[in-house]
């Protein structure tokens, strides 16, 4: 009986190990982790009001002159998305697959700037932004459209 039980246990171990190798070897999509940082800033006059401006840093090139608002989230009409709180912003990002990693607060000139680090797993070739739009994208679109029309005049 011990011999039969030992044989069964070894066979089970071989089968389980073979399944683990096959599932990882034949994985169709490779995923990797990407990060972003939410920056929450109360921009209301004298700190009055409950809306905050949220910027999202995806690690893209920063402006030489400092923060020019290019990382602010915008809607389809190009208007800034205002959030009630950082939790509201996190719920917005959570709906798009982002997960909380860490947070800290930096006080600059008497104002608190809240930093939340988020991450998500994306497939190779997929954009970390997904359907999120920022002011920087709007500026890129305008520049691209002006270049496209410039060349259309030449070829038409």
For residue 21, being part of any structural domain is answered with: no
For residue 72, being part of any structural domain is answered with: yes
For residue 129, being part of any structural domain is answered with: yes
| 42 close to 112: Cβ distance less than 8 angstroms | yes
d(CA 137, CA 73): 10
**More confidently predicted of 49 and 20:** 49
For residue 6, being part of any structural domain is answered with: no
The total number of structural domains in the chain stands at 1
For residue 46, being part of any structural domain is answered with: yes
Query: Domain limits at 41?
Result: 31-144
Q: Please report the sign of the dihedral spanned by the C-alpha atoms of residue 148, residue 78, residue 75, residue 67.
A: positive
Q: For residue 70, what pLDDT is reported?
A: 79
Cα dihedral 15/13/16/121 (nearest 10):
-150
147: pLDDT strictly greater than 60: no
- 25-75 confidence digits (pLDDT tens): 445 668 899 999 999 887 666 656 677 888 899 887 766 555 667 788 899
**More confidently predicted of 7 and 109:** 109
């Amino acid at each position: 009986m011990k011999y039969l039980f030992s044989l069964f246990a070894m066979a089970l171990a071989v089968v389980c190990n073979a399944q683990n190798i096959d599932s990882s070897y034949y994985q169709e999509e490779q995923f990797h982790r990407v990060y972003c940082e939410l920056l929450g800033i109360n921009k209301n006059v004298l700190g009055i009001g409950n809306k905050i401006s949220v910027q999202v840093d995806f690690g893209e090139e920063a402006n030489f002159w400092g923060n020019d608002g290019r990382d602010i989230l915008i809607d389809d009409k190009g208007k800034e998305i205002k959030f009630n709180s950082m939790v509201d912003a996190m719920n917005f990002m959570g709906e798009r697959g982002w997960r909380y990693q860490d947070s800290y607060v930096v006080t600059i000139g008497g104002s608190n700037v809240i930093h939340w680090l988020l991450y998500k797993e994306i497939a190779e070739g997929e954009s970390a932004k997904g359907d999120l739009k920022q002011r920087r994208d709007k500026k890129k679109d305008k520049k691209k459209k002006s270049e496209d029309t410039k060349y259309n005049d030449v070829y038409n």
